[in-house]
Amino acid sequence: MAPERTSIRTVDLLGVFWRSFFIQASWSYDQLQSLGFAFAFIPVLRRLYPDREAFSARLASHMEYFNTQPYLASFVLGAAAKAEEEHASGRRTAVEVAELKKTLMAPLGALGDSFFWGSLKPFAAAVAVALLLSGNWWAPLLFLVLYNLVHVGLRLSLVFVGYETAGDAVALLSRYNFTRLARRYKVLSLFLIGCIVGTISLWDAEFRPPVPFSPPLLAAAGLALTLGMTAVLRLGASPAKLMLGLAAVCLALALGGVV
Amino acid sequence: MDAFADVHGMAQVLLAAFIAGMIGLDRTALGQFMISQPVVAGPLTGWLLGDLTAGLVIGGTLELIWVLDMPIGTFVPADATVAAVSATAIAALTGGPLPAQLPVIGFSLLLTVGMVPVTMFADHLMRQRNAQIPALALSPGGRPTETSATAWHLAGLIAFFLKSFTLCLVLVPAGLVLMSGFLALPGAVHRAMALFATCLPLLGAATVARKLSMKTLDRYLLAGFIVGAVSVQLIHLPPLATVVISVAGGMWGVRTRGA
Shared domain for B228 and B194, answered yes or no, is: no
Q: Tell me, what's the pLDDT at A141? A: 97
User: What does DSSP assign to residue B132?
Assistant: G
DSSP letters spanning B162-219: HHHHHHHHHHHHHHHHHHHHHHTS-HHHHHHHHHHHHHHHHHHHHHHHHHH-SSSS-H
**Cβ of residue A247 closer than 8 Å to a chain B Cβ:** yes
More confidently predicted of A11 and B257? A11
A15-27 tens-digit pLDDT? 999 999 999 999 9
CA angle B139, B145, B149 (to 5 degrees): 90
d(CA A30, CA B129): 10
How far from chain centre, in Å, is Cα A13?
21
Phi, psi (deg, nearest 5) at residue B136? -65, -25
Q: Report which residue type is found at B44.
A: L
Q: Which residues of A touch B53 (CB under 8 A)?
A: 206
Q: Tell me, what's the pLDDT at B8? A: 82
Shared domain for B173 and B194, answered yes or no, is: yes
Q: Tell me, what's the pLDDT at A5? A: 60
d(CA B1, CA B95): 8
Report, as ranges of residue numbers, the positions in chain B whose pLDDT lies below 70. Answer: 1-5, 98-99, 257-259
Contact A26, B133 (CB under 8 A): yes
Q: Residue A195 and residue B242: Cβ atoms within 8 Å?
A: yes
Contact A3, A48 (CB under 8 A): no
Shared domain for B134 and B224, answered yes or no, is: no
A145-204 tens-digit pLDDT? 999 999 999 999 999 999 999 999 888 888 899 999 999 999 999 999 999 999 999 998
Q: Could you tell me which of B228, B244, B197, B66 has the C-alpha nearest to residue A197?
A: B228
CB burial of residue B138 (10 Å; 0-12, 13-18, 19+): middle
- Of all residues in chain A, what percent carry a pLDDT higher than 90? 83
Domain that holds residue B248: 216-259
Report residue A1's pLDDT band, with 50, 70 and 90 as the boundaries. very low
Ramachandran region, residue B97 (left: φ > 0; alpha: ψ -120 to 50; beta: rest): beta
Least confident segment among A39-43, A47-51, B6-10, B194-198 = B6-10
B74-113 tens-digit pLDDT? 788 889 999 999 999 999 999 777 667 899 999 999 999 9
Contact A48, A88 (CB under 8 A): yes
Shared domain for B116 and B237, answered yes or no, is: no
The neighbour count for residue A231, using CB atoms within 10 Å, is 14
Shared domain for B208 and B226, answered yes or no, is: no
Q: Tell me, what's the pLDDT at B259? A: 53
Shared domain for B185 and B250, answered yes or no, is: no
Q: Residue B225 and residue A109: Cβ atoms within 8 Å?
A: no
Average pLDDT, stretch A69-77?
96
- Counting every residue written for chain B, the total comes to 259
Beta carbons within 8 Å of B68's beta carbon, 6+ residues apart = A117, A118, A121, A122, B207, B208, B211, B212
Average pLDDT, stretch A8-19?
96
CA angle B188, B189, B192 (to 5 degrees): 90
d(CA A193, CA A129): 9
**pLDDT exceeds 60 at position A104:** yes
**Cβ of residue A63 closer than 8 Å to a chain B Cβ:** yes
d(CA B222, CA A194): 6
Q: Residue A140 and residue B205: Cβ atoms within 8 Å?
A: no
Least confident segment among A5-9, A112-116, A185-189, A249-253 = A5-9
Q: Could you tell me which of B121, B47, B36, B17 has the C-alpha nearest to residue B80?
A: B36
Q: Could you tell me which of B253, B29, B30, B31 has the C-alpha nearest to residue A189?
A: B253
Residues 169-228 of A with CB under 8 A from B: 183-184, 186-199, 201-203, 206-211, 215-216, 219, 222-223, 225-228
| Residue from B62, B189, B195, B252 to probe the interface with A (highest A Cβ count within 10 Å) | B195
CA distances from A183 to A173, A188, A253 (A): 15, 9, 40
Q: Could you tell me which of B130, B72, B143 has the C-alpha nearest to residue A45?
A: B143
Bridge partners (DSSP) listed for residue A32? A28, A66
d(CA A95, CA A93): 5
CA atoms within 13 A on the CB side of A5: 8
Q: Which residues of A touch B44 (CB under 8 A)?
A: 140
Sequence ranges of the domains in chain A: 10-180, 209-259
**Can you state the percent helix, strand and coil of chain A, rounding each to 5?**
70, 0, 25
CA angle B245, B249, B252 (to 5 degrees): 140
Q: How many domains does one find in chain B? A: 2
| Residue from A39, A117, A184, A193 to probe the interface with B (highest B Cβ count within 10 Å) | A193
pTM above 0.80, yes or no: yes
Least confident segment among A6-15, A117-126, B2-11 = B2-11
Shared domain for B37 and B165, answered yes or no, is: yes
Q: Report which residue type is found at B166.
A: T
DSSP letters spanning B68-114: T----TT-----HHHHHHHHHHHHHHS-SSSSPPHHHHHHHHHHHHH
Q: What is the ipTM of this complex?
A: 0.92
**Cβ of residue A18 closer than 8 Å to a chain B Cβ:** no
Shared domain for B235 and B160, answered yes or no, is: no
Strands (E), chain A: none
Task: Give the minimum alpha-carbon distance from B3 to chain A in angstroms, rounded to a whole number.
Answer: 24
Phi, psi (deg, nearest 5) at residue B235? -95, -15
